[in-house]
Amino acid sequence: MPTASLTSRLTAPFRALLALAGLVVATGASAAPPLDPKGKDWDTQASMAIDYAWSQMQDAPHVAIEVADAVIAGYAQRYPQGRTRWYSASSEAEAARYRSIDAVARDPAYDRAEAMVNVWGEAYHVKAYALVEQALAEHDPKTVKTASNLPTLDPALAARAMQTLAEGLVLQPYHVRMRNELGYLEQSLGQSQQALETFRMAELAAQDPKDDEARANLTRAMRGVGFALIELDRLDEAEAKYREVLRIDPDDDKAKHELRYIEDVRGERGD
């Protein structure tokens, strides 16, 4: 989709965000001016942009990437690197966790830490997710499945998405969905041991979920642990993990499916 046809449908804040990313954003005879990241409404505009990026994920993942890059660039301009350790959080409770961690074990490279509720970390999640969506859209889904039913990704693309997630997790260590996406990518590349460690960290970050979305993030992390354990041929541990999932959500069909798979493997082996 050409940039001009896209931006003709965007509101001024979104056009400004794209301009901030260094894109040519033509609207009639003139280009939209860049948005000042130091403006008082920056967090609001960034949040709106991230919502828009998610809305474009399936049909135009390249647009989601552009918008995410614009948001990341804006926050980097607003909060430049220096002696302050910046944290991004999705809630005040999460921000408080980061402040507590810093109070106990501050990185000596920093003089102080600031934890803020904003979408800076989420922008990295959007970008990584869109990179994968873009790659999958360029392949026939029927030809990119492995024996473990995970898509085969170009290693360079996977590395770019994983680096994006790693950068985001520096900002937002307890972003469970980012950790789950990272584990998914590692597993798709056959890195089962690393995926196991990543999903376990996601599970730890997702403890004590307060709502349905949080529980879904937790059970996804737990299923990731179970899947990695199966790939590592640690079936007893995998079975125990999937049964934990079912104690949280008795209707989790994916966990039930994996338990049946474990039974089939044992039957084939005569265990």
CA distance 36 to 16: 9
CA 230 distance to own-chain centroid: 24
The chain-wide mean pLDDT, for the chain, equals: 83
CA distance 66 to 230: 37
* Helix (H/G/I), strand (E/B), else coil: 60: coil
* pLDDT range class, residue 151, cuts 50, 70, 90: low
pLDDT at 11: 47
CA distance 83 to 54: 33
Alpha-helical (H) ranges within 30-87 are 42-55, 61-78
The pLDDT tens digits for 217-254 are: 999 999 999 999 999 999 999 999 999 999 999 999 99
* pLDDT range class, residue 150, cuts 50, 70, 90: low
pLDDT at 35: 59
pLDDT at 99 over 70: yes
The pLDDT tens digits for 176-230 are: 999 999 999 999 889 999 999 999 999 999 977 778 899 999 999 999 999 999 9
**DSSP-assigned letter for residue 232:** T
pLDDT at 248: 94
pTM, to two decimals: 0.81
CA distances to 63, 86, 92, 117, 213 from 98, in Å: 31, 10, 10, 11, 21
CA distance 76 to 251: 43
Alpha-helical (H) ranges within the chain are 3-7, 12-20, 42-55, 61-78, 92-104, 120-137, 155-171, 176-188, 192-205, 212-231, 235-248, 253-269
Judge whether 117 and 92 are in contact, CB under 8 Å. Answer: yes
Phi and psi (nearest 5°) for 31?
Answer: -90, 150
In this structure, the number of other CB atoms found within 10 A of the CB of residue 146 comes to 12
Give the sign of the dihedral formed by CA 181, CA 183, CA 186, CA 188.
negative
The pLDDT tens digits for 130-141 are: 999 888 776 644
pLDDT at 8: 39
CA distances to 11, 26, 36, 222 from 16, in Å: 9, 11, 9, 40
Name the residue type at position 246: L
